[in-house]
Structure 1
């Protein structure tokens, strides 16, 4: 039988700590949440490999290093409301629920959203709810949010998402241009986003966040 607890500890010790992730809340959450419960059952043995876990329709569960580094940069506090865009089966929401006051986990696939809510409930995560809808629309009825992050990359960031960041709040976005990707943290000050570089990373572009292509004959 696979010892997932040992694999989880090894993931933190060999992938996350060496990636300059230092905040105790992030490390504690990554040690505590059973990643294998939040991936398709056929892929459980790959849950702790240091790479994205592929889902259907080009989506992924982010590489644990990428997620941990984003969370280290965001520094979520226990009185904050978080929007998790593209939660998949809910792993990222479960991790952040250990840091935040509450998490709204947005998922566009209805069946996946149901599975995510079920797994979150089974894992005793009572401060995260799954909201079903297009990822690019966000979940305005529950916002605005202290923190927003996206479980995938972006070519173009919809205004609807930026509008849901609270004044003084922040958003983590993996911007891609071709093969290159950069995570930036945006801070909303006086209604405008101020961006700073965080680190390099790559991931598939989330549906609805592609750059509009010019029509060509």
Structure 2
């Protein structure tokens, strides 16, 4: 990573950011352009330590509670899709439950995860939909990764994201979500609205933590 990359917002590249919060483990900055709250690179885990954290997760694709959690994105997304759509579950983890649910709904789903399903050939294809559930908060370079996903969408395709949203500084200080050491980027409605403007489309907010955006035809 260059000095310029280390001192710029990882989503929009702006160097206009300011201190937002500190705790005993790390500092948090907020971009004044896209409003992303991010953890500076010196506080990021190594890849080995990051994977060790993920290996502690045991999400059963058949667990009803976990399926209900993922259903908050799956149900509104599938309502937007035609039958037999082709999709990609980005950041599927060791147990790709959402991919299974979407296949059960009649869609063809590929998976990608840098630790558990790292086949880069999936990015040579184009899709009717792409999902990223509880993923974007882990990305060290979200700007580059989200642009790559956007390029992989067919015109009229849908990107579905699930992540908890920043409300304000006071709520952030007591927010459990920031305490996960693998969480290094925190988004707000302002952030996703900014992103939609860059893509010349509109962001659809569903509940407190689900966003859907359609690529223009």
**TM class, shorter-chain normalised?**
0.3 to 0.5
Q: TM-score, normalised by structure 1?
A: 0.45
Which is bigger in relative contact order (C-alpha 8 A, separation at least 6)? 2
